[in-house]
Amino acid sequence: MKIKSPAGKIILKLSILTAVIYNIWPLGYWLDPSALNDNYLSVLEVYSKPYAWVFILGDALTATVVIIIGLRLLKLIQPPRKRSALIGYLVFGVATLFEATTPISNRCDESISACGISPVQIFSIHDLASIIAALGLFYALYKSLAYFKARGKETAKSCLARCLNYTFWIWSISGLFLIASVGLNRATLISQALFIMACGLALIMLPLAMLQLTEP
């Protein structure tokens, strides 16, 4: 897909920016290396951490830009019935903003085992926001794919549609791997890293796919 409109080019640049900022967690190896030892990456945002503000700001900025992109696409995508994927995208942005501003519990500072996966932890504002953000992204990817399939075989086989399909499966498989690794308390850092990178890829592909919705 070739983007011709100035608004579309700006959206593409902002999308790449969100993907990069959302993946700044490797800075933790430099700023707070002990936090990344057998733990959730969200621990980097615990208020007691000296550089928590860096990672909180990163997630908050990602969420804000996603919301701005979503609101802009809201005006560009007509008629309203074509906005279903956009709803999931905006849900991701709003939920990520809540996630960033309500850091994970201090008890998770030591390890995943100390944090646990109890109902109390899962139903905390931070974890609920994380789950809702993931579901929003899943819905956006799913509905975007459904749109391309509904447009016919030619559109469904386009380069953009194929890339979106790959993104959907990469995101889904990495999400399942994350759930399994946290449940088993194995390879958690790797699974989190893969999932966040998959989210970054989705943050680039989704606006591109939704820009296609602006075409008649």
List the chain pLDDT tens, one digit each, 216 residues: 567 778 788 999 999 999 999 999 999 889 988 777 767 788 888 888 888 899 999 999 999 999 999 999 988 887 777 788 999 999 999 999 999 988 776 656 555 555 655 555 566 788 899 999 999 999 999 999 988 888 765 665 688 889 999 999 999 999 999 989 877 777 788 899 999 999 999 999 999 988 877 765
Contact 141, 161 (CB under 8 A): no
Long-range contacts of 188-192 (CB under 8 A, 24+ apart): 188/38, 188/39, 188/40, 188/112, 189/36, 189/38, 189/39, 189/41, 192/40, 192/41
DSSP 62: H
Q: What is the pTM of this model?
A: 0.89
- 215 touches 78 (CB < 8 A): no
The answer to whether 77 and 213 have CB atoms below 8 angstroms apart is: yes
